[in-house]
């Protein structure tokens, strides 16, 4: 499968990469160059380029979103996923892209995959966000790869808690969710849980496919 600059390998045991999610890689690439900012969309003082440091992708699956970014931006990349089969494909896809030397694939639950001291300049998070009651609508997808709990945000909340701890000062994160209602719920969660230290800076909607949420420190 062609995914931006990549040719991906995967099978039916993992979540099939969605073409629209290449927008997450593209948006992340924009954040590395302040000159690409649209003044009407970005706060130039907030994102005056991403600081030095590696990129992290949580719930990475076969790695396509982070790998597409890493093929454009010369930063080290850490891919984290609990599915051993998906991680095997992520490693294969990194090798096929010729960037395996800058990629660290970690096959562990995300809450144990990161050392307490690790900080990342940019974090991508692609948690399962399908509401549990809607999972049957996607019979071809592995349930564990799409089931996000009653409101679709169970894993996303874990992701933002980790982002709050591991994001470098001046860095940014892009969270993938299912719809505008989930994005609004996440905004409320971050406003209430100020200990996380994050705020929503922008939400981009991609029709019925999903939404991307730009996060930064308060």
- Using the CB atoms, write b or e for 50-88: b if 16+ within 10 Å: beebbbbbbbbbbbbbbbbbbbebebbbbbbbbbeebbe
Question: Does a structural domain hold residue 42?
Answer: no
- Which CATH number covers residue 124? 3.40.50.150
Res. 196 pLDDT band, cuts 50 70 90: confident
- Segment 203-215 shows an average pLDDT of 97
Single out the residue of 100, 110, 52 nearest to residue 77, CA to CA: 100
Q: Please tell me the total count of domains within the chain.
A: 1
Residue 120 has a pLDDT of 98
Report strand pairing: 77-81 vs 103-107. parallel
Question: Does a structural domain hold residue 196?
Answer: yes
Question: Does a structural domain hold residue 40?
Answer: no
Residue 48 has a pLDDT of 54
Domain that holds residue 95: 2-11+20-33+50-217
- Report pTM: 0.92
Question: Does a structural domain hold residue 38?
Answer: no
Question: Does a structural domain hold residue 151?
Answer: yes
């Amino acid at each position: 499968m062609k995914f931006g600059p990549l040719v991906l390998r995967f099978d039916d045991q993992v979540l099939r990469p969605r073409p629209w999610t290449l927008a997450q890689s593209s948006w992340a690439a924009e954040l590395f160059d302040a000159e690409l900012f649209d003044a009407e969309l970005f706060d130039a003082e907030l994102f005056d380029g991403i600081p030095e440091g590696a990129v992290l992708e949580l719930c990475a699956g076969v790695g396509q979103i982070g790998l597409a970014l890493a093929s454009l931006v010369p930063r080290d990349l850490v891919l984290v996923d609990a599915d051993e089969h998906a991680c095997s494909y992520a490693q294969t896809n990194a090798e096929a892209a010729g960037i395996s030397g800058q990629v660290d694939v970690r096959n562990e639950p995300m809450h144990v995959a990161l050392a307490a001291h690790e900080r990342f300049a940019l974090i991508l998070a692609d948690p399962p966000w399908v509401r549990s009651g809607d999972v049957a609508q996607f019979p071809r997808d592995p349930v564990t790869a799409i089931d996000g709990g009653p409101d679709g945000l169970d894993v996303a909340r874990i992701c933002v808690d980790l982002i709050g701890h591991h994001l470098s000062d001046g860095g940014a994160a892009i969270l993938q969710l299912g719809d505008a209602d989930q994005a609004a719920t996440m905004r409320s969660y971050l406003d209430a849980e100020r200990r996380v230290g994050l705020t929503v800076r922008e939400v981009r909607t991609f029709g019925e496919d999903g939404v991307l949420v730009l996060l930064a420190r308060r």
